[in-house]
Structure 1
Amino acid sequence: MEFDENKEREKRKDEHVQLALLDDRLPPSHFDHLTFVHHSLPNIGWSDINLHVVLPDLDLKSPLYINAMTGGSEKTGKINAELAIIAKATGIAMGVGSQHAGLRNESLADTYRIVRRNNPEGTIFANVGADVLLDFALNAIEMLEANALQIHLNAPQELIMPEGERDFTGWLSQIEKIIKHVKIPVIVKEVGFGMSRNTLRLLKEIGVQYVDISGRGGTNFIGIENRRREKQEYDYLRGWGQTTPISLLEAQEYMNDMMIFASGGIRNPLDAVKCLSLGAKAIGLASPILRVLQNEGTERAIEELINWHEQMKTICTMLGARNMEELCAFPLVITGEVREWCEMRGIDIVAIANRGRL
């Protein structure tokens, strides 16, 4: 039978969603090693909390956004259509999955374009890989009339993927070329393996301003791709990479120079607030929204995001933090494995535990 690359790509997109929903073997979370110091006099009211985030060239009504998930097949196009409705109803930004399928096969482009049609005034992130040519990136932006472009870094996924790439030598220079020619914000994002100080330094040196550190703890693409292998021989690599809390701590010295987004393993509003307290400017959610959408429907997913916003405001009120800037001034105590990592890497967690108003 003749190999059909487009059909194979569509099949892979559907398998990714199916396996992501099945993949619920989440390890103990490093978010549980971060604890806010409670103070009994917050001295503010719930209505004082402002979750609005203003960034260079991006105005986000909420720090939450629906992170890149899917597109590229009939089934995933329907998911993108529903996610766009959810984003519009809640006023949050949304990213689509890798647009390579729609850029290579015009018949699949609508599985991405539906996002802009369903959310004409919304903030939408286009998405391409780090190996694409400039014209490819520009076409991805045009396809969605995008407000920002995500460039995903997924070397471990590609290496475990049976049909994946094996050569990543040109990634950094290609990212630099795209950044110099694209007029909207470019967000360089991991896909769930976290980032290190060295990665952030290299990205900063070529002019990257926006980064999503996307740590281990959520959707595990090594696990997903390994399940697609006949022998599933790479299961021992499921724990590869840095978690989101550790990645944010690795990023501390770059918080004033770069717009750091966080995603990966965010289980609840408290995890999201902890990310914001460590300096993240925005929080990406993927599987928590997808699971509710698939199991309970669009209206329930909208309700879930509204609840997240309300609960984040409740937590900020308990802390006495009116906005994101004040939230970064409150003490956060770091223990367990995260503390051990920071001690070995020379990250000053004592200052974080004793910052701000005591």
Structure 2
Amino acid sequence: MNDTTSGTAGGTGNRKDDHVRHAVDQQHRGPDAGRSSDHSASDFDSVNFVHHALAGIDRDSVELAVKTPAGMWQAPLYINGMTGGSAGTGKINGELAVAAREARIPIASGSMSAYLRDPSLAGTFRVLRDENPDGVVIANLNANATADQARRAVGLIEANALQIHLNALQEIVMPEGDRDFAAWPANIETIAAAVEVPVIVKEVGFGLSLDTVRRLRELGVAAADVGGRGGTNFARIENERRSRGDYAFLQSWGQSTPCCLLDTAGVEGIDIFASGGVRSALDVARALALGATTVGVAGRFLSVLMEQGTAALVEEIGDWLEALRRVMTVLGAATPGDLAGCDLLLTGQVAAFCQARGIDPAPYSTRSTRT
């Protein structure tokens, strides 16, 4: 059967605009709206801190800075890759870059493949650096890119790191998407050896497994962003762009972010970043407690920007960072890394995942006493 699209899915620019519109819509309806069973609760809700009433420390002693392969970041939070490639999304990138600059957190670009096909679109990505000249900016490409294309993308925005996104599920559902993913591992290895900045490989919302992260480490990747299910659902977005909507059965594909973090816990030689379904500062703390070095947010921040403006997004990020600092204060965690020693109760679907994957959740509940 031939792939068909909705009337709004003309060229790359229209597709980028479609993605933004659908992503914001999902913030209101939820990424899993329309599924037959009730999975509205996030797996982050199955990860809870054990409260120790005398564990608290001085809030002023809490330090948010983290060491990443791309250098020291002032906080364990970044604006994850979203958009670019059209006039409208270029404007959004500029506003996101201003928010990143004012909030002093890193920002990742959306896929820069459109620029590689059409250099006239360079400005829709270059604005990330123009508006944020001294900040951490991360380039973004798909895994079909060549080493030369990767160097061009990094050079365009003077990137501090390069994100390579993995989106096989999205491409399979996308009417005009790729259908051949066999070259991805070799391409990633070539790019990691060719560019002069750290390479981060991220999923776009379906999760990274233990086997995948181990393989990425062997390919020379510096960090893996698990990009788990629970945030913006690109299978649903692409299905809504199909005239028949005939791929709804893939909407619940993949592993959630907490499950991915548990699956990849203890892997050495590669940093683990977390994104996908992060709704609040508490979810940031949960992800850090599950072993993430830093946490990326896309859909929530995009929604605030689109509906309330840049100043509101800067305020939102500031509120998140202050709330994270206060959560760490109560938990007795002076640094983000200290959260990995806090006691966690793993319940619900997360505990079921652990059982299915041979992970014992019990030791997580007594980490502080063992430490």
TM-score of the pair, normalised by structure 2 = 0.93
Q: Confirm or deny that 1:22 pairs with 2:55.
A: no
Q: Confirm or deny that 1:223 pairs with 2:236.
A: yes
Select 1:103's aligned residue among 116, 133, 146.
Answer: 116
The CA RMSD measured in Å over matched residues stands at 1.3
Q: Give the residue type in structure 2 aligned to 1:295.
A: E
The residue number in structure 2 matching 1:41 is: 54
Alpha carbons 2:69, 2:222 under 8 Å: kept: no
**Post-superposition shift, 1:7?**
6.7
**Post-superposition shift, 1:25?**
2.5
Alpha carbons 1:329, 1:357 under 8 Å: kept: no
Q: Confirm or deny that 1:158 pairs with 2:163.
A: no
Q: Give the residue type in structure 1 aligned to 2:338.
A: E
The residue number in structure 2 matching 1:249 is: 262
Q: Any unmatched runs of 5+ in structure 1?
A: 1-5
Q: Give the residue type in structure 2 aligned to 1:356.
A: S
Once the two structures are superposed, residues 287-312 of structure 1 have per-residue CA deviations (whole angstroms, 9 ceiling, x without a partner) of 11111111111101100000000000
Q: Confirm or deny that 1:8 pairs with 2:43.
A: no
The residue number in structure 2 matching 1:280 is: 292
The residue number in structure 2 matching 1:189 is: 202
Q: Confirm or deny that 1:267 pairs with 2:272.
A: no
Q: Give the residue type in structure 2 aligned to 1:202.
A: R
User: Pairwise mapping of residues 297-316 of structure 1 onto structure 2 (< 5 A)?
Assistant: 297-316=309-328
TM-score of the pair, normalised by structure 1 = 0.96
Alpha carbons 2:112, 2:140 under 8 Å: kept: yes
Inter-partner Cα distance in structure 1 for 2:30 and 2:321: 27
Inter-partner Cα distance in structure 1 for 2:207 and 2:135: 28
Q: Give the residue type in structure 1 aligned to 2:79.
A: I
User: Pairwise mapping of residues 231-242 of structure 1 onto structure 2 (< 5 A)?
Assistant: 231-242=244-255
Inter-partner Cα distance in structure 1 for 2:340 and 2:326: 16
Q: Give the residue type in structure 1 aligned to 2:230.
A: G
Query: Equivalent pairs: percent with the same residue?
Result: 46
Q: Give the residue type in structure 2 aligned to 1:316.
A: M
**Post-superposition shift, 1:257?**
2.3
Once the two structures are superposed, residues 230-278 of structure 1 have per-residue CA deviations (whole angstroms, 9 ceiling, x without a partner) of 0001112111000000000011131x32110000000111011000011
The residue number in structure 2 matching 1:3 is: none
Q: Give the residue type in structure 2 aligned to 1:167.
A: D
Inter-partner Cα distance in structure 2 for 1:287 and 1:277: 22
User: Pairwise mapping of residues 189-208 of structure 1 onto structure 2 (< 5 A)?
Assistant: 189-208=202-221
Q: Give the residue type in structure 2 aligned to 1:10.
A: G
**Post-superposition shift, 1:339?**
0.5
Q: Confirm or deny that 1:211 pairs with 2:224.
A: yes
Inter-partner Cα distance in structure 2 for 1:227 and 1:304: 30
Inter-partner Cα distance in structure 2 for 1:47 and 1:127: 36
Q: Confirm or deny that 1:93 pairs with 2:96.
A: no
Number of positions where the alignment pairs a residue of Structure 1 with one of Structure 2: 352
The residue number in structure 1 matching 2:190 is: 177
The residue number in structure 2 matching 1:317 is: 329
Inter-partner Cα distance in structure 2 for 1:177 and 1:214: 22
Select 1:122's aligned residue among 126, 130, 135.
Answer: 135
Alpha carbons 1:66, 1:284 under 8 Å: kept: yes
Q: Give the residue type in structure 2 aligned to 1:293.
A: L
Inter-partner Cα distance in structure 1 for 2:296 and 2:227: 8
Alpha carbons 1:244, 1:263 under 8 Å: kept: yes
Alpha carbons 1:248, 1:279 under 8 Å: kept: yes
Alpha carbons 1:190, 1:215 under 8 Å: kept: yes
Inter-partner Cα distance in structure 2 for 1:213 and 1:324: 18
Alpha carbons 1:279, 1:328 under 8 Å: kept: yes
